[in-house]
Structure 1
Amino acid sequence: MKRLIKDIIWAWRFKRAVRKAKKLSKLFGLKYYVISMNGSIKVVPKKNICELVRSHRFRKGVTVADIEKLALFVTR
């Protein structure tokens, strides 16, 4: 029963994040990713991901394409 409730909450948060990503993408014309970070779902623009990769915030060898493959949802 606990697992079911957790899954329902996660699905609700995911749907909400997807709606937010689509809305922001349409508004600003950027590509947005819905990714899972530290157990929570985040909506992040591709521009910020590129800056973080350039500033070596991720492990050595991680590229934007790797992050895009692991993203739960990608706009456009």
Structure 2
Amino acid sequence: MFKTIKKYYAAWLYKRAVRKAKKLAELFGMKYYVIHLGGSLKVVPKQTIKELIKRKRFRKGVTVEDIERHALFVTT
């Protein structure tokens, strides 16, 4: 039963993050990603991803395209 509750909670968090990403993308006209970062789901704009790569937050050689490919959700 505990596993079922964890699944529903994870699904709820994912749906909430997707809604937030869509809302922000529509509001600001930027591309947003839902990614698993730091142990939780984060809604991050593409511009911030570029900054994080420049600051070496990700491993050497990681590009924006790699992150976009592994993102859980990408707005258009």
- State the TM-score, normalizing by the size of structure 2: 0.95
Residue identity matched to 1:69: R
Match of 1:57, SS state, is coil
Residue identity matched to 1:60: K
Counterparts of 1:28-67 in structure 2, within 5 Å, are: 28-67=28-67
Give unpaired runs (5+ residues) of structure 1. Answer: none
What is the rounded CA distance, in whole Å, between the counterparts of 1:73 and 1:53 in structure 2?
A: 19
State the superposition RMSD in angstroms.
0.8
What is the rounded CA distance, in whole Å, between the counterparts of 2:13 and 2:29 in structure 1?
A: 23
Number of matched pairs:
76
Percentage identity across paired residues of the two chains: 64
Q: 1:23 maps to which residue?
A: 23
Give unpaired runs (5+ residues) of structure 2. Answer: none
Q: Deviations over 1:19-74 (max 9, x none)?
A: 00000000000000001123311100000000111122211111111111110000
Match of 1:59, SS state, is coil
Match of 2:24, SS state, is helix
- State the TM-score, normalizing by the size of structure 1: 0.95
Runs (4 or more) in structure 1 with deviation over 6 Å come to none
